Amino acid sequence: MRYLGIDYGTKRIGIAISDEGGTLAFPYAILENSKGSIAEIKTVCAHESVEMIIIGESVDYKGQPNIVKKEIDKFIVALRKVIGVPIMEEREFLSTQQARFYQMKKKHVDDSAAAIILQSYLDRKNNRPILESIRDLPSS
């Protein structure tokens, strides 16, 4: 299953894509946030056979929705109208700053931030069955 990760920003939208097995996330593209962004994302989803979109859920230092969250919610509604794949939100915190730390020479790191968000989701998703198996082991 291939996933698409999104780091939504008011100026730019970072895009990441997973491998076909849904285990690793890779930076893919940086789009200017414009009226054509959703169509571009739809094209990427079709071209890359994406089956699910993971978008960063933006929160402040207290874990509360921030200013960008309202824009993300509108963006998700618009995406759902034109893209026929499930869309999930993944809690993200300082993903852009984290990407800047690793990509110091790049001017824009939105695609790397999207990869961090997507990788966080994939790691959590892929480890869940292991944790459930451990819980089901008989206690000694």
Q: What is the pLDDT along the chain (140 residues), one digit of tens a residue?
A: 999 999 999 999 999 999 999 999 999 999 999 999 999 999 999 999 999 999 998 877 777 777 888 899 999 999 999 999 999 998 775 555 555 545 555 666 788 889 989 998 998 888 754 444 444 445 54
Distance CA 93, CA 122 (A): 16
CATH number of residue 42's parent domain: 3.30.420.140
Provide CB contacts within 8 A for 18, sequence distance 6+: 1, 2, 3, 4, 5, 24, 25, 26, 118, 122
Query: Smallest Cα–Cα separation from 13: which of 25, 3, 4, 22?
Result: 4
Give the total number of structural domains in the chain.
Answer: 1
Strands 12-18 and 2-8: antiparallel
Contact between residue 95 and residue 117 where contact means Cβ atoms under 8 Å apart: yes
pLDDT at 134: 40
pLDDT at 133: 40
Distance CA 124, CA 86 (A): 17
pLDDT at 93: 55
Beta strands in the chain (DSSP E): 2-8, 12-18, 25-32, 50-58, 87-92
pLDDT at 124: 85
Q: What is the pTM of this model?
A: 0.80
| Residue 25, domain extent | 2-136
